Chains A and B, each alone.
Chain A
């Protein structure tokens, strides 16, 4: 064997070991001013097909047990179910749109991580009474589903998807951007066109009479994890009909790999659920999914068209009498 051969082997060994060390030694990056660096474009489109609660087929099992080929098979089935549901006399050939779904790349079998049974805790009696009173008031009003634009959801009206709705994966618009500066973290949401600017300086929450759709957010670092507590929600459009004044969302953002940030949300509202609960999913860094303009209200012809459709249906029903 020539000396050159051994030199080559030696170089190869050094390169291999160096790259193995690089892979093992990944550490979460820091900003120039020393905060953990979470910045970038993210998407969670892959988790669109992941149910919030644990499906009954997994009763008695833990989330981290469902992995490998079992998880891959579930995700392929979700993708296939979606494709099948789209078959009909009018449908696009699969190759035009399936590649945009990515449901087969979902990373979890469900999203609720606490309670350990993967189920949202029971509603309090107060929450049940509140929902019943709302439904009853709606019935008493005699209003139809689309008498006015005010009968449509805040999302239909291009106003907001609220929190945590603005980061819940759906069929499109799942692009987010995290930007940091000393003392602040900003999160941009493509749909519907929101930016949260979260102070990290320990200032107190706004007074309890100041309430908004996206709430009042305050953040701090817990080691490498960004913890954001959001309160002061309005009562309309709150997450799963929670009580706006008492709902407290605690989000955690932690960079777990070069291209991943784990986002978890603890939902705490003693007036709605019998205990706090938490769901979690990964956000994947993806430069091909930048936040694009989504000036939803500008061209929301659908809203007018829904009202026109409702009037046409009423006329049809009246003529049929």
Chain B
């Protein structure tokens, strides 16, 4: 019952708002918290990506990709090219891709000193991010 309630809360929290519909790519039933080291940041459109080395349950280092918002939106929210230098230890909250590969739709990003940045991958929850058809 508790699990059901949690899932219900998550699905309410995720209206359709992304350049790409969130649900076409990511699984709202797979929220995850990753702790890892930045190996690279791709400042590409329509979404920027962080490459992150993370230790899995067996202690093996695996490489995750974390999807962010578009570079332009990140820039206007206070990010810059020095925000995530290689080697930075971060914690990322987000949702895993539906195909089970090591990709995450990033939501919140926390630095070791507690400073946070909003990744804003799927927008900020505005009523209708998709253009008029």
Q: Which residues of A contact B (CB under 8 A)?
A: 48-49, 52, 78, 81-83, 85-93, 96-98, 100-101, 103, 145-146, 153, 155-156, 158, 161-162, 164-166, 168, 170-173, 175, 190, 239-241, 289, 292-296, 298-303, 305-306, 308-313
Contacts and interface: CB of A to CB of B under 8 A. Distances in A.
Nearest to A78: B127
Given A146-B24, A299-B46, A91 B13 contact: yes
8 closest pairs, A vs B, by CB?
A88-B13, A299-B44, A86-B125, A312-B99, A309-B98, A96-B118, A171-B123, A172-B73
Contact of A295 (B15, B45, B117, B123): B45
B132 A101 contact: no
A312 B107 contact: no
B117 to A, nearest CB: 7
Contact of A172 (B26, B44, B72): B72
Given A294-B70, A312-B99, A170 B129 contact: yes
A155 to B, nearest CB: 6
Interface of B: 6, 9-10, 12-15, 17, 19-20, 24-26, 31, 42, 44-47, 49, 67, 69-73, 75-77, 93-95, 97-101, 103, 107-108, 116-120, 123-133
Given A97-B120, A311-B99, A90 B127 contact: no
A308 B20 CA distance: 14
Contacts of A308: 97-99, 101
Contacts of A155: 19, 130-131
Contact of B107 (A90, A289, A313): A90
A144 to B, nearest CB: 11
A292 B46 CA distance: 12
A82 B127 contact: yes
Given A294-B45, A298-B44, A240 B6 contact: no
Given A171-B129, A173-B72, A302-B67, A93 B116 contact: yes
